[in-house]
Structure formats: C-alpha cells, structure tokens
C-alpha cells in the first residue's frame, strides 16, 4: 500500500471537537460542550444549529443518508438509513436535516429483544442522540450514536444503562473528591479494549457449515501442530495479514478510533489489536465499530474474521481485555498510586472501592461476560477462571497488609534490571508483574478485566463495574461527609475495608486446581462455571437493590436482561445442536460409509489376488470405523432426543439448565466420536476442511 499521512486522515470521517470548533458559532459550541462535559440539558436551538452544520459537513464528505446508530440487546449494532432529501414545491429537492431529526428517531422496536418490556404489538421505539459520542461517516452515511428505548421509556439497548452507570460513578466519586478537597468538575471512567480475533481464508471458511451457522467449529481433530511451539505469539506477521492490518488501521483511524498495537496472538491464525484509552461510552462505540470493520476489511482481503470466543477446540480462544480506569476532568488518574502510594490516601480509598466492589458484586462481573461461547473459554488454562479475584502485585499488597496490621510500611527499593551487556541500558523494574491468570488485575494505574469474550460488548461489564464501584463510594461518602476526625475515620475505614474484603485478593496461579478449592471452600468465593449458573444471579435481591439505587436499571429492565441473555444462551446452543445433527446425518456418516465401502472393496480385491494377504490396515480400520459409525448414530439420536425435549421446557431458566446438563454433554460425546473417525478416514473422503487447513490457511 502507498504511504499514508496519519495525522491527516485521523478522524477525517468524524464530526469531532476540531470540526465542531471550526464550524459552530462560539455560543453553540460552548453550549454543546457544557452538555457533553457537564451533563447539562441540550437546548433545541443548539441542536438545530448542530444538525445543519453536521449535515453540511457530512455531504461535503460524500454522505447522502443519515442514521441513528444504536446498540440493541442483540450484541451487535443497528441502523436505519434516511436520505437528506426533502421535496420542494417546484418539483425539485432540498437537502435538509433538523435538530429534531438529530435528537430523536423512531425505529420499529418490534423485532428487537425486549425480554417482556413491551408487548409484540407495541412496535414503536425511540432513539435519542448521545452528544457525548461523536457522529461519524460510514459507507456514505452519517451515523449518529444514540440510545434506544421503548415507547414507554424502558432501555432496550446497552448504551443507556452504560451512560447511567457513568453518571452514577461520577455522582459518588465527586462526593469523595469533595471530602478530600480535590478540585474537579466531573469524573469519568476510561477504557481501552484489547481485541483478539482469528483470520482464516474465505474459501476454506465457506466449506464449513458449522463456522457459517455458529461461528465455531463443532467438529475437528487437532492437526499435528497447534500452538505447542509458541512460535506464533509475537512472531513475524505474514504479508497477507500485514496488509489486512494496514488496511484495518487506516479505516479505524478515519473514524477516530485510536488503534495502537497489533501482533500475532498465541494460537495459529490468531491476532490482537489494542487501542488507546477513551471515555467508556466512546470506547464502547469504538469497539463495536472495530469488530464490524474487522469483518469488512477481512472480506476485502479474501479472509474471514472470526470473533467467536472459542472457534477451535484445542487451541486458545479469543478474549477481550477491558482496561478500566477512573479520572477527573483536570487530568488526575484516581487509580494512579504515584511515587508514594502508602501516603496517597485518596488513591488508597479509590483502590479499596474497587476491591470492595469486585468482592461484593463478583457475581455481577461474572455474569456480565457470560455467553455460550465464553463458557468454553473461561478456566481453560488460556483465560482467567470463572472465579473472580483481584491481583494487586507485591507493593500494593504489602501496603494494604501494613495498614491492616497497623504496622510500618517498609518501602521497596527501586530495583534496576541488569542484562549483563554494557551496551544495553539499565532500567527500573516495575513494582508489579502481570498475572495473566488473574481475571481482574491491577497493572500500574488501571485494572484489567480479562474475562470478556472476543465478541462481547464491553458495555455489559463496564455497566456492572461502574455501578458496583459507585456503590462502594456511596457508602464511603455517607461515612466520611459527617466525620469530625477525618484522618482517623479515613484510616479506620480503609483498614476495615481491607480486612472485610481481603478474601478477593489473590496473586497466585489462577489456573491451579488448588486455587479452585481454596477460593470456594476456604474463602467462600463463587464459582459460576456457566451462563446457566451465572445469569440468574442478576435477580438476587442485593443486585436488584444496588442497580436500582443508582438508577442504572429499573426492576423491569433487570428482569428483561436476565431473560434475554438466557434466551441468547439457549438459542445459541440449540442452533449448534441442530447444526451438528445436520452435518452428521448429511455429511459425516455418508462420508464414513463411503470410505468403509472403498476399504471393503480394496480388501476383497487384494484377497482375490492372494489369499495370503492379511489386510491388517484395512480390516482394523474398518472394524473401528464400523464401531464408531454405530457410536455416532447412537450419539446423534441422543442429541436429536435432547433437541426435542428442549422444546418442552417451560421457561428460559429450565431451558438453560437443560442445555447445560443434557444438550452440551451429548454434543461433546458426539464430537468425540466424529473427531476420532476423522483421524481414521482418508482426507479424500472427509467432507470438510480439517483443522490444519483452517488454522494454516492464510499464508
């Protein structure tokens, strides 16, 4: 590709602050900025002025249509396009776009998941402009980020509760800053979402029905080489993939998405992209766009981008690391310990707020990343376990121990790394290592929540994290605002929180079986292994009370989300089960039969030539394949019976338990026999591309 001027193209398709400052009057710009930064109500006259300039800018950049771009509870984005065309009296047209059209849209809500929030016949829904997230141009269409709600006002999307949670944590954090005398107008959380994905050749992908229907391979024996040599991780990027990455970066940069880091991941054909931090709702919009554009760019390059959490059994699946921090408008990172964290009481209190939040609401964090796909990945020695814990590192752990025990803190010396070569520089060692087995790790000035699946919207976990931390801060503010001896009460509060919540702190190997036993039997932490285990916990009264207290959800919205997520889980597995039956009945069993026929014909012909020929290979292979054919038939009948019984389940809760306890185990049995048969059947007769062909298809 030709060289590109990054500063010139960056944000060129975004109606960002630079564009607004240049095109809007000072009065309109300043009013809009107050709405964005300080949550001030939007003036309709300001909206009209913004809409006019937004339309002019969009048309100058080739846009002909506009859409309210929103994030329904499907997990992907949605959009309905309208042109700027308005008829004029003389038979011509005008190009118009009003403040009313900018602020509100009316898409049909009838076909989006609602979880019982509205009746089927109540089709009307509303989209409302989110001025805190910049509009952008995609495919010649002006995309306006919006919230999405029902006719009666219930949130039908992921953005609305996310914005509510950001408002909640701002409200409570400002109370804490006030008692410390810290000057700030507002507090916002920021996120950087590292995105893992697979790239495989489009032609090979098209020959796998399971990948097309479900996003993952439901069958497949491991090839001779997988990820055992660790040679793919951070390895030289293949030319075809490098071209994809270069193209992807340019598309993302045009949309103002701060794509920063790219590299090969652990598994063959697996890669990662990491952006620079952005405000949480902006980062959420950016990550949704990133996933969409990855697929489009891959298609242009003759590849398919797989975002399933576990597209291939036996090699690492794909996650998404949610790097979360909290800061003020004045640039203070409230999770930055500084050079003397032991003396930084404000930092320690915010640190305690996060620790308490993760402990009190570990179930909410776990269910926020629960999907059918992610269940295959969590706890599989490639991703954090389903048990939620917090990693702090040596220095912070030592500081908290000193506070808890009222003991003097012995500060750690600055350790220099010496590599033994004079020409190489010496550098200071960080005070904390990275624990890659921890689901929630402190990494210097932020927390990295590593349990998300690749396809997850980051909105879900950040809603729960923001709300849970807001609840901790609310309790602290209630206690400290009326304090008569602030320093003593602050010290006692921090000390008490450490003692009450130290069970959630763990710096060891999260993959070890001994940790599972210690966490559940000694510490009393929850181990919600599947979506069927985790999602119903959303309806625990403590969770409903907290989420409603901070106005993140209404009670009806909480119940709806539980139902929607469980429906998604059972529908996903049901589709996988139906796909397995289809592939086995129509392809695998006939293929094995064909190979058995050829083996039997070969055996007969060989013995006609000479009765002394033993035909050991042919006979032993036929015997085992004949047995496997019977096992496969029995297993597929068992799965078919389960699929029938699945339809008889009375509600989504019993359906999810049935999927967990009956359908998934039967699917595993069926796969085991088919995969063994693949190893015994000739490649010529096997109906679908193998794992080796899939994982090493991009050269």
pLDDT along the chain (699 residues), means of 10: 80 95 95 85 89 95 94 89 82 79 80 67 78 94 93 88 96 97 94 96 97 97 79 84 95 94 90 94 96 97 96 93 96 89 87 97 97 88 86 89 80 53 50 69 92 95 98 97 92 94 93 91 95 97 98 96 96 98 98 96 92 90 97 98 96 97 98 97 95 91
Q: What is the DSSP letter of 84?
A: S
Long-range contacts made by residues 400-404, C-beta under 8 angstroms, separation at least 24?
Answer: 400/498, 400/502, 400/505, 402/342, 403/348, 403/491, 403/494, 403/495, 403/498, 404/495, 404/498, 404/499, 404/502
Structure-token match 């900018």, residue found:
102
Q: Nearest CA to 316 among 207, 410, 436, 396?
A: 436
Task: For residue 221, count other CB atoms closer than 10 A to its CB.
Answer: 18
Q: What is the DSSP letter of 511?
A: T
Tell me the Cα Rg of the chain.
28
Cα–Cα dist 668/674, whole Å: 10
pLDDT, position 429 = 47
Cα–Cα dist 278/287, whole Å: 11
| E strand spans, 278-398 | 278-279, 303-306, 319-328, 390-391
Beta pairing, strands 440-442 & 390-391: parallel
Answer whether 301's CB lies under 8 Å from 205's CB. no
pLDDT, position 419 = 46
**C-alpha torsion angle, residues 517, 521, 525, 530 (rounded to 10):** 60
Task: For residue 623, count other CB atoms closer than 10 A to its CB.
Answer: 10
Answer whether 675's CB lies under 8 Å from 221's CB. yes
Cα–Cα dist 509/514, whole Å: 9
CA 248 → CA 35, 63, 145, distances in Å? 32, 21, 21
Beta pairing, strands 65-69 & 141-150: parallel
Kindly report the length of the chain: 699
pLDDT, position 114 = 73
Q: How far apart are the first and last CA of the chain?
A: 18
User: Cα 134 from chain centroid?
Assistant: 22
pLDDT, position 417 = 46
CA 288 → CA 285, 323, 401, distances in Å? 5, 16, 41
Cα–Cα dist 307/270, whole Å: 10
pLDDT, position 423 = 54
pLDDT, position 435 = 58
Answer whether 527's CB lies under 8 Å from 519's CB. yes
Residues 6+ away with beta carbon under 8 Å from 604: none
């Amino acid at each position: 590709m030709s060289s590109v001027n990054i500063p010139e193209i960056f944000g060129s398709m975004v109606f960002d602050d630079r564009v607004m400052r240049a095109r809007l009057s000072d009065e309109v710009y300043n009013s809009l900025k107050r709405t964005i930064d300080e949550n001030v109500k939007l003036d309709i006259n300001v909206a009209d002025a913004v809409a006019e300039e937004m339309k002019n800018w969009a048309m100058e950049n080739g846009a002909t249509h506009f859409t309210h771009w929103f994030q329904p509870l499907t997990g992907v984005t949605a959009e309905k396009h309208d042109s700027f065309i308005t008829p004029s009296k003389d038979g011509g047209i005008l190009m118009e776009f009003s403040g009313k059209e900018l602020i509100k849209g009316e898409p049909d809500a009838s076909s989006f998941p609602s979880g019982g929030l509205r009746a089927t016949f109540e089709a009307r829904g509303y989209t409302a402009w989110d001025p805190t997230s910049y509009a952008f141009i995609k495919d010649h269409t002006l995309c306006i980020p919006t919230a999405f709600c029902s006719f009666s006002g219930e949130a039908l999307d992921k953005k609305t509760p996310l914005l509510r949670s950001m408002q909640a944590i701002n409200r409570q954090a400002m109370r804490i800053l006030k008692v410390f005398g810290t000057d700030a107008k507002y507090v916002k959380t920021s996120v950087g979402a590292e995105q893992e994905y697979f790239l495989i050749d489009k032609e090979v992908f098209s020959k796998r029905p399971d990948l097309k229907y479900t996003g993952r391979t439901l069958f497949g024996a491991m090839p001779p080489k997988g990820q055992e040599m660790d040679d793919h991780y951070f390895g030289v990027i293949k030319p075809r993939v490098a071209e994809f990455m270069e193209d992807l970066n340019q598309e993302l940069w045009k949309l103002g998405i701060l794509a920063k880091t790219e590299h090969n991941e652990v598994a063959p054909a697996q890669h990662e992209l990491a952006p620079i931090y952005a405000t949480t709702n902006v980062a959420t919009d950016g990550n949704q766009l990133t996933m969409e554009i990855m697929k489009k760019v891959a298609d242009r390059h003759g590849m398919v981008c797989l975002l399933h959490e576990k597209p291939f059994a036996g090699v690492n699946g794909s996650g998404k690391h949610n790097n979360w921090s909290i800061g003020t408008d004045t640039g203070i990172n409230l999770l930055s310990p500084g050079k003397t964290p032991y003396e930084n009481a404000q930092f320690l209190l915010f640190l305690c707020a996060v620790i308490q939040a993760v402990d009190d609401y570990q179930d909410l964090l776990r269910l926020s990343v629960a999907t059918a796909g992610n269940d295959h990945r969590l706890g599989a020695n490639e991703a954090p376990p389903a048990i939620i814990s917090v990693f702090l590192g040596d220095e912070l752990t030592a500081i908290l121990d000193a506070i808890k025990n009222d003991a003097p803190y012995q500060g750690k010396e600055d350790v220099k790394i010496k590599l033994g070569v004079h020409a190489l520089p010496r550098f200071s060692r960080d005070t904390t290592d990275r624990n890659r087995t921890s689901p929630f790790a402190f990494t210097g000035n932020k927390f990295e929540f590593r349990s998300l699946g690749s396809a997850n919207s980051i909105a879900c976990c950040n809603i729960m994290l923001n709300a849970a931390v807001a609840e901790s801060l609310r309790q602290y503010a209630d206690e400290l605002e009326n304090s008569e001896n602030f320093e003593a009460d602050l010290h006692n509060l921090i000390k008490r929180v450490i003692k009450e919540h130290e069970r959630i702190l763990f710096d060891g190997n999260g993959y070890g079986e001994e940790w599972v036993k210690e966490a559940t039997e000694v510490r009393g932490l929850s181990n919600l292994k599947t979506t069927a285990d985790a999602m119903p916990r959303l309806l625990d009264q403590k969770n409903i009370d907290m989420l409603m207290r901070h106005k993140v959800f209404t009670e009806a919205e909480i119940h709806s989300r539980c139902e929607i997520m469980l429906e998604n889980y059972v529908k996903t597995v049901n589709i996988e089960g139906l796909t397995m039956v289809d592939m086995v009945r129509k392809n695998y069993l006939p293929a094995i039969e064909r190979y058995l026929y050829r083996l039997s014909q070969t055996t007969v012909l060989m013995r006609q030539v000479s009765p002394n020929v033993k035909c050991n290979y042919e006979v032993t292979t036929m015997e085992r394949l004949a047995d496997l054919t019977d096992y496969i038939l029995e297993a597929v009948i068992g799965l078919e019976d389960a699929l029938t019984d699945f339809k008889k389940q009375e509600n989504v809760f019993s359906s999810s338990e049935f999927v967990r306890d009956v359908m998934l185990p039967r699917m595993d049995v069926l796969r085991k026999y088919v995969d063994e048969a693949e190893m015994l059947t000739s490649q010529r007769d096997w109906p679908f591309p193998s794992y080796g062909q899939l994982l090493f298809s991009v050269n």
